[in-house]
Each structure stands twice: as structure tokens, then as C-alpha cells.
Amino acid sequence: MCARLNQEVTWTVYIVVSWTKLLPSQNGDMVAAWVPAPLSSNAWAYPMRVLQVVGNTTARSDPAGFVVQWLAELARRHRPGRGAPPPRRSPAWDGESFAAMHPNEAIPFNRPTSVASERAYMSDAIAYGRISGDGAFTRKCHDFFERTLGVPKALLTTSCTHALEMSALLLGVEPGDEVIVPSFTFVATANAFALRGARIVFADIRPDTLNIDERALELLVTPRTRALVAVHYAGVGCEMDSIVATAQKHGIAVVEDNAHGLFGRYHGRYLGTFGAFATQSFHETKNVTCGEGGALLINDRGYIEQAEIVREKGTNRSRYFRGEIDKYTWVALGSSYLPSDMLAAFLWAQLEAYESIQQRREALWNHYAEGLADWAKQVGVGLPYVPPYCEQPYHMFYLMLPDVQSRQALISHLKNAGITATFHYIPLHSSEMGQRLGGRTGDCPVAESVSERLLRLPFYTGMTPSDQDRVIESVSAFRPTRLGVTDC
């Protein structure tokens, strides 16, 4: 048995769940009925209904998981009305059913991805009796990311923001350190490091992919630079070869803010596998979601144990649960970054369906690109640029208008047609907080220009072809106030 503990163990357990017994029916007759095992007497004299439970687990690496998975499987199959495991259902896109019921509804900017199995898995999480962090579904999600992306360790977090905060804690960022971030990003990218007292150094972006401009990095690095954050905007990979080379040359840690980029690739390699850490988001706007959630992907194995501590309030509780120590205690700075297993159950439902989610989004993205190509060319509007060596995960679809007036006019034009389109980031260096940190308008001209001209179209997994055609039709009827010549 010991020799096999490190291997995946396939196990089968037979459990008697009910026996036939004579019970009075409504008209007083005695009829044979299946009754739950504990209620029957002289049970062995009657036919038995036997439950066969089969599973696969690695017992040594995760003995608690072995037991929990076994019990969970038992609970799932023993639920009333569920003698056999549920067949894998094809995803029922809630957006689609919503649109069918409300044909003249406004088209929102986003509807969260929804597949058929979230509710069932959340019920299962309740049935297992363990809804705090790191339960059976959390482990399934960790395992999924480790297997699918090939990262040494994945840890679910309560948000991408929190995964970024964990990165800052793990790198030991402190006052006096500098961290380079693109100006065109979400506040969390910078805020996580500012919270630790770092000076934020804002980098401009490339006009084509809208990613951090790797050509400017050498000028921004100083002896105090501690980390560099690469945000893969719209899931299109940053120039990671150059970024990693610059970071290695100066001994700087790379963190990938991969909030948009799950399943994207750069030169065939998954985004999220280049930095010491990568952070994922499962916010409701993302391709796969659990409402609010995230993950920290750890590529540098040296940080794994510390990451578990930071995520568990600064304690070595994870080691305790694995049976490696006999009590747990406060060992470092940390916080509560682990999500409930209820959220992990929701997320797991979507991860199981990720291939069909991605296929669907790819079809939608291509339909926009094809449907708007001629119009965009005629009026000088830019469409998203994806370098040939990048595979994008179809996270968003944007237009680059010639100027801010045209962008605002198109937002209003679509609004009048019942369609919600929206701008994106305000450059961080020119934001209120960014200016307090020393940023000045004019520091990152490409980010400033892009921020004024970019418009995101409604784009969500459950979007119906007819809704998408409505958007394409409305956009195509619009003429910018001045015809543009754009960078992208």
C-alpha cells in the first residue's frame, strides 16, 4: 500500500444504501418499497440496493482530499433522486434563454457566463458539509489549473486584486522599492504594490496590442526596481521574451496580471506561466466566473509554502491540514485570501465547460471582426490587433475610434439603440491617486490617447447571434465626426 501512496489510486467501495421492506401503502395494503439502510430491520434478509463508488486520488499527496473526495462522491450519489452520477450536460447559456424570453430587451455590456451545472455543484458543496475554503471543489479547481496550464501551484483567491496583493507580500515589497506597471490597466495592478509602500513607476503602452511597451522598460529600471507587472490586455500576450530578458538582466521579479488572459498563449506557451507569479480573475465579466474570485499561479516553486501561509492569515494551517505538523500558528504576515468552497463549486462547473465556453466566444469574436471589417476600414476605426504568435482567449472586443468625440458619440448612438457599450481604463498616472503618486498628464501619451478613443462592445458567452447582428448593424450605421487614421 505504501509504495502505491504516491501513485494515483483507483478505489471502489460498495455501500448498502437501501433494502426492500414491506410498508403500508395509502390504502392499507402492504407493498414492497426501497427504504434507506439505517431504517430497515432484518435487512440482510431482503434484496439490497448497492451503491458502487469509484474514484481516483493520490493518497499521500493529499490524504485529507482522498477521504473528502470519497465522502463527497458518496454524498453526491446518495442524494434523493440521484442514484447515478448526473450525465454531463451541455451548457445551457443563460444569456441565450434570457434573450429568447425578452426579444426586445436592451443589450447589456455583459452577462455573466452561466452553464447548467453551477447550482447542482453548489448544492453538492452544501451537502458535503464543508463550505469554507480549500474544500473538495477548491482542490478540483487547483488541480485543473495545474494540469491544464502546467503551473507548479495554483491557489484560488477571493479576487485577482487579492492575488496581486499576495504577490506584493510574497515578494517582500516595502517602502523605498519601485514597481513598474503599465498606466493603462485596472487600479488593482498598481494598488496592490502601493499598499506595501512601493513607489509606482508608470510605463506607457504599445499602440498596437495596448500592452506595456517593453522597449521603454530599460529607461524605467533603477537599482530600486523590485518588480515589473505585465498586464496581458484583452488576453493578448505582452512581449514576454523581451520583458523576461530585461527582468533577468536586472534581477527583477515579473508578475503577470492575467486577469483577461486565461487560456491565452504567447509563442505557444500559456500566459500565466512566465512570471514568478500570475494572477487570474473570475469576476463576472471574465470568460469563466464565480461572481468574484481569482487565483494566484505560482511558477517559482520557492514561493509555494510561503504563499499558502500568506493566504491563510499568516498561519501554517495548510501544513496542519495535510498532517505535516500537529498544530498551526501565526508564522508570517498574511490575510484571508481563500474563497468559500461554494464559489469554487460554481467556478468548477464553468471550468468543466471551458472548452465550449472558449469555442463560443471565439465564434462571437470572429463574427464581430468579420461583420465590422469593411465599416472599420471605410471610416478609419481600429479593430483589435493580435500578433500572429499570440493566441487570444477571446475576452473582449473593442473599437479604436479616431478621437474622444467620436467615441462618446458612438456610445450615445448605441445607447439610443438599446445597446450598452463602454470605455475602459482611465490612465493610472493621470488619475487622482496617480497624480498624488507623482504621475503627470503627458507622461504616457499612448495610454492617454487610447483611453480616450477605446470603446468596448457588448461581449459575453451567452450573446445570441441576433443580438450580435443588432450591434453590428447599429455600429455600421455610425460615422465618426472625423474619419480617422488610427494606429490599430
Q: Which residues bind ligand PLP (CB under 6 A)?
A: 159-161, 185-186, 188-189, 231, 257, 259, 281, 283, 294
**Nearest to residue 416, comparing CAs of 51, 107, 204?**
107
C-alpha–C-alpha distance, residues 357 and 404, integer Å: 33
Residue among 160 and 180 whose Cβ is closer to ligand PLP: 160
What DSSP element (H or E) covers 154?
strand 153-157
C-alpha–C-alpha distance, residues 188 and 159, integer Å: 10
Whole-number minimum distance, CB 62 to ligand PLP, in Å? 27
Whole-number minimum distance, CB 166 to ligand PLP, in Å? 12
Residue among 117 and 159 whose Cβ is closer to ligand PLP: 159
Alpha helices, H only, 353-484 = 354-379, 404-416, 432-436, 445-453, 465-476
SS3 153: strand
Residue among 122 and 181 whose Cβ is closer to ligand PLP: 181
Whole-number minimum distance, CB 206 to ligand PLP, in Å? 16
Residue among 211 and 449 whose Cβ is closer to ligand PLP: 211
Residue among 74 and 170 whose Cβ is closer to ligand PLP: 170
Backbone angles phi, psi at 166, to 5 degrees: -60, -40
DSSP letter (8 states) at residue 327: S
Whole-number minimum distance, CB 425 to ligand PLP, in Å? 8
Residue among 321 and 385 whose Cβ is closer to ligand PLP: 385
Whole-number minimum distance, CB 161 to ligand PLP, in Å? 3
For cell 457599450, name the residue.
421
Residue among 57 and 159 whose Cβ is closer to ligand PLP: 159
What DSSP element (H or E) covers 279?
strand 277-281
Dihedral sign for Cα atoms in the order 407, 234, 205, 281: positive
Whole-number minimum distance, CB 428 to ligand PLP, in Å? 11
C-alpha–C-alpha distance, residues 284 and 113, integer Å: 7
Strand partners, 29: none
C-alpha–C-alpha distance, residues 18 and 40, integer Å: 8
Whole-number minimum distance, CB 48 to ligand PLP, in Å? 49
